[in-house]
Structure 1
Amino acid sequence: MKGLVQQIFDLIKLLNPLIAVESPLQERLKLLSSLTRECESQNLKCYLWSLEDDSLCQLQILEEKLTLNIVSEYQPITDKTRHEHYFEILRFWKTTPLQGILILEGIFPWIANNPDLLTSGWIKSALINLKLHNRNCNKTAILLGPNATLSYDIALLIPTLTQQLPTIEEISIYLREILPFFNPSEIHELAFAAVGLYMADIKYGIREAISEVDEIFAQELILQLLGYKIKLLKRVYDIEFLQPQSIKVGGLELMQESLKKYKRLMTPLALAYNLRIPKGVLLIGPPGTGKSYSAKVCSQLLGVPMIIVEWGNFRKSGNQAEYKLKKLLALVDRIDRIIFYLDDFDKGFAGDDDLGRRLAGMLLTWMQERTSNVLIIASANNLELLPPELTRCGRFDDIFKVDLPNNGERYEIFKIHLARFDRRFRNGGDAYSEEQWRRLLKETYRCVGAEIQAIVEKAAASTFCQMFPEVTNNHQHSQLPPLEITLTSLLEARQNINPLAIREADKVERMRNRASLQGLPSSPIDDSVYSHGNINIFS
């Protein structure tokens, strides 16, 4: 907050009579208090006007509290027959003998591509006149709001400042003040869990956690604050924030080898050699082949959290799409050491309109200029929908084709999902003969990982219903009979699923062929005992 206030007063010293400031609503009270304190230290008066009540108040700090006192010199127009009557404050500030800083709230929506052209034009003209008339009058007007978007015709006339998310160092200083009984290591862990939140959100999250118990330990507070952060980011940014998970993956060995290299490239030693992780990684292939799962595997291998974004959802935001993307990229930059996963990347360009290209331009500029240690992974089914500038060299450095799993990979995927229900498959165990596996793999030819998961889950549910034909609650958990999934139940479940690669064979083959032209293989040639080359046709 001190940094933002300092930037504001640096612009005031340069005789800027008009400044735009973007600050989140939750930080409003703290920002107003900080501005008022700085004004009082420099013998300046600070005023506040908001569109809500159309009244002018002087801000003062009395007994460490922010107070508002009505200024009688300003008389708003009571009979507001035209929209511009709501903004009489602009004409007043241009001519009044009052000096100091005037904070104006609620104006941004009217001057950022507002469809009411007459009112928007009047406000823009009033702001321009204000800038010209007050340039040497010791008067500064600050436009304040959570979204300081200005239309192109006045953007160059009004310098804009944005309140950034606090750094880990700033959060640590604040936490040491309010949690003096925690040691430095605990403070650092807590600050790392809180990064990506504004100070007001951190304060609320900690207060909420502490209020529920008489005494709280550092690890418990870290978990609660992290949970609060995950919920808040979902609500504000419509994203998923996932911690590294412990998961297993069947196949995709070549891609996993590349992912392990990224971990070494994120070390200070690699940075000392001017080496960095790729600008971006693109996963292409038919639906259900494990692209999203691969991103989670990368999070596990690198030991860093992951943000999942449905890229197509930006199109639903309309005029707010670019603002939301800008805020999200700022969040990702601030968190640092994170995977930024853009799911269904191609769907954001399905309309082939100007909005999709503007969003792509914002993303490419950020990818090119960023200095944060963020790994961008995007997944796409249809490569043809992506603009050519996104797939040329220097954009996504690594492009992997995530294809239909081969026999050996399907074998591994089956065992991973079978182990969830049938303990015979856990810890490397197996319950089927080689002949049984060959039959199952033949029947599931062209099935992808998601379809194999569905087959196993259907078979497990069918087996359970056969074991317990009637509803009962008499069984003790420790005495439950084991659930054993048979080959027959898996084959029956397979009959109820029509694989996409068979149902939409033409579309899937086009996706695979296009992916083969630009993508590196994710899997080596199948050398398992179940590969087609290992079948003994004379047995």
Structure 2
Amino acid sequence: MLMSTANTVSLSGMEEISMLFNSRRRAILVNTFEEERFLEDLKSLIEVKRYEAYTWSITAGLRDLISGDVAVKNLYDPIRLMNHIAEYDKQAVFVLKDFHDIWTNYQAKRALRDILETKQNVYKPLLLISPYTNIPTELEKLITVVEYELPTREQVIEELEGMEAFLRNRGLPVPEGREREAIIHALVGMTKTEIVNVLKKSVAKNKKIVLEEIVAEKEQVIRKTGLLEYVTKLGRMEDVGGMDIFKEWLEDAKYAFEPEARKYNIDPVKGAIAVGVPGTGKSLIAKSLAHLWNLPLLKMSMSNIMDSRVGQSEKNIDRALKLAESVAPCVLWIDEIEKGLAGVASSDRSDSGTLSRVVQSLLTWLSDKEAPVFVIATANDITKLPPELTRAGRFDEIFFVSLPHQKEREEILKIHLQKRGYKIVYESSGPDEFTTYQIEGLAVEMKNFTGAEIEQVIAEAGRRAYAEFRKGLRETHYITEEDILEQVEQMVPFAVRNADLVRQLRSWAKTSAKCASSEEHKFLHGSSKEDNDHESLSIDFDEDDLILGE
């Protein structure tokens, strides 16, 4: 049985402007990149309220909003415009374009302030259209900011359906199922003009709507900001070895992330942190999550957020988070988050508190966000993160991604061999086959290897085998068990080179995180043989292995 939910009111940008008109607000800054779409929507509101309305720009002068006719000839100067508005004796709306560039002029800023602070007998609201909200300090208390949102998901679907109808009328194919859903996700976050243009371009070029072209356009839209990266090369959960607990949690979390769950009063999932040794698959599972949920993946690097200019870092984090919300539903991947936030404790002394303010903006957003943005943060060393970032309410879970254990190493070996065309069989009868017994033996030899190191061993063994084949030193290019073992002997694993770090991470994880793998959970908390053999939480190698080269 469905449960009742509390009613919440969320006003659109135009609804908020209408409400502000009713309350006689005198100056409204409309934050948008879509001037034309906003003006079209504004025309409908103006006609309902029966206001006079004019638009002004430094190139077009003052024009009637509805007819487009020139209202006053040669009125290009902003100071003269302010005088005209002050003397105008009828109720009217004045829409000013690009005034964020003009109020840097002290005279124009003073003239605008005089209008807003002078008592008026006739209501003459000013609408300032701008893609930025850098309001001068003197005017901050006089201007109300309204976000004119990008096309909603419903509006995106409406545009897509229009193009689909066009294709059907000409007997051309239309997208369906998972592909259609992915196209909708890719179009969300674009302006109406961008949506129309990319759909027309795809149809004109291919006689159908091609997902790859939509994604490529979306990638360009995101890249222009310089703050986020739109990740197009996703992974697959089938290629993630081990991490069975984490994978099962993500599969279940998908249901709570869907809008349908709100009907049952189910709280939406917010995100997760994956912490562990480098090369253990944290990045791969972030990419695979987006593929599993069929959602866009945005990647945030804190180095792109931080800026040496005063106040710019704070603006960057706000813009990046708003951009993620505009693309929602989506997955936001914050990679190696500890590197970007290291030093927050000394921020007041080292950078005048800039990093502290950036972190505070991120923390507030993580706690308060309502948009369906699932955040997955990856870290190699969680001890460098500010403790407030990991408190309850910011992320749903903290997962410890450790070194793969025996069965997981076998699974990872199979994945990378099968990706290269090899078969895993019980009894080998060909050069492109490995037996399960061989896989088990190789996994034993790769004790303490990360998933990335296992992949590197297989890749290098393949390159060496192929080189010898081309030189005529062997009959086939196929990898043999001996090729793999040779590469294993030549590699010194990260865990051996950084044994103390692995011990520290495991010691921390035992009381502070959920294990991503059931094998690691048994190792840390259970009574398995492996656990009994390593009571000190050290990684599973002999002490002699630390004496490299002997």
The TM-score normalised by the length of structure 2 is: 0.76
Partner of 1:83: none
**Aligned pair partner of 2:117 in 132, 146, 150:** 132
Q: Bigger shift: 378-387 or 358-367?
A: 358-367
* Amino acid corresponding to residue 395 of structure 1 in structure 2: R
Measured in 2, the distance between the counterparts of 1:205 and 1:75 equals: 35
**TM-fit CA distance, 1:21:** 0.9
Measured in 1, the distance between the counterparts of 2:102 and 2:435 equals: 69
Q: Bigger shift: 486-495 or 174-183?
A: 174-183
**TM-fit CA distance, 1:147:** 1.3
Partner SS for 2:374: strand
**TM-fit CA distance, 1:122:** 6.3
1:422–1:485 contact (8 Å) kept in structure 2: no
1:382 is the counterpart of 2:381: yes
Partner of 1:103: 95
Measured in 2, the distance between the counterparts of 1:516 and 1:482 equals: 48
Change in 2 beyond 3 A, CA 1:410/1:181? same
Change in 2 beyond 3 A, CA 1:346/1:426? farther
**Aligned pair partner of 2:55 in 38, 47, 51:** 47
Deviations 1:283-323 (A, max 9, x none): 11122111111223333444444333224421148544444
Q: Bigger shift: 317-326 or 482-491?
A: 317-326
Partner SS for 1:212: helix
Partner of 1:414: 413
**TM-fit CA distance, 1:531:** 6.7
Measured in 1, the distance between the counterparts of 2:89 and 2:204 equals: 45
Measured in 1, the distance between the counterparts of 2:260 and 2:86 equals: 61
Partner of 2:229: 239
Change in 2 beyond 3 A, CA 1:250/1:121? same
Deviations 1:227-278 (A, max 9, x none): 4323433344532244865342211122222222213434567544422343
1:253–1:524 contact (8 Å) kept in structure 2: yes
2:156–2:188 contact (8 Å) kept in structure 1: yes
Q: Bigger shift: 173-182 or 245-254?
A: 173-182
**TM-fit CA distance, 1:143:** 2.0
Measured in 1, the distance between the counterparts of 2:460 and 2:479 equals: 10
Partner of 2:397: 398
Change in 2 beyond 3 A, CA 1:420/1:174? closer
Partner of 1:79: none
1:361 is the counterpart of 2:360: yes
Partner SS for 2:306: helix
Change in 2 beyond 3 A, CA 1:69/1:497? farther
Q: Bigger shift: 344-353 or 244-253?
A: 244-253
1:14 is the counterpart of 2:23: yes
Measured in 2, the distance between the counterparts of 1:58 and 1:427 equals: 81
2:424–2:436 contact (8 Å) kept in structure 1: no
Change in 2 beyond 3 A, CA 1:531/1:296? farther
* Amino acid corresponding to residue 37 of structure 2 in structure 1: K
Partner SS for 1:445: coil
Size of the aligned set, in residue pairs, is 493
Q: How does 1:64-103 map to 2 (within 5 A)?
A: 67=68, 69=70, 71-72=72-73, 74=75, 76=77, 88=79, 91-93=82-84, 95-97=86-88, 100-103=92-95
Measured in 2, the distance between the counterparts of 1:6 and 1:194 equals: 24
* Amino acid corresponding to residue 144 of structure 2 in structure 1: P
1:171 is the counterpart of 2:156: yes
Change in 2 beyond 3 A, CA 1:69/1:271? closer
Partner of 2:144: 159
Measured in 2, the distance between the counterparts of 1:49 and 1:428 equals: 78
Partner of 1:315: 306
**Aligned pair partner of 2:270 in 279, 284, 288:** 279
1:299 is the counterpart of 2:290: yes
Partner of 1:449: 451
**TM-fit CA distance, 1:46:** 0.6
1:91–1:126 contact (8 Å) kept in structure 2: yes
Measured in 2, the distance between the counterparts of 1:340 and 1:485 equals: 38
Partner of 2:218: 229
Measured in 2, the distance between the counterparts of 1:381 and 1:97 equals: 64
Change in 2 beyond 3 A, CA 1:335/1:421? same
Change in 2 beyond 3 A, CA 1:178/1:135? farther
1:37–1:61 contact (8 Å) kept in structure 2: no
**TM-fit CA distance, 1:451:** 1.8
1:277–1:375 contact (8 Å) kept in structure 2: no
**Aligned pair partner of 1:492 in 482, 486, 496:** 486
**Aligned pair partner of 1:523 in 517, 521, 538:** 517
Measured in 1, the distance between the counterparts of 2:366 and 2:272 equals: 11
Change in 2 beyond 3 A, CA 1:178/1:70? farther
Measured in 2, the distance between the counterparts of 1:436 and 1:426 equals: 10
Runs of 4 or more, structure 1, over 6 Å off, are 426-429, 526-535
Change in 2 beyond 3 A, CA 1:461/1:47? same
Change in 2 beyond 3 A, CA 1:160/1:428? farther
* Amino acid corresponding to residue 30 of structure 2 in structure 1: V
**Aligned pair partner of 1:23 in 15, 19, 32:** 32
Measured in 2, the distance between the counterparts of 1:73 and 1:435 equals: 85
1:18–1:131 contact (8 Å) kept in structure 2: yes
* Amino acid corresponding to residue 221 of structure 2 in structure 1: L
Partner of 1:469: 471
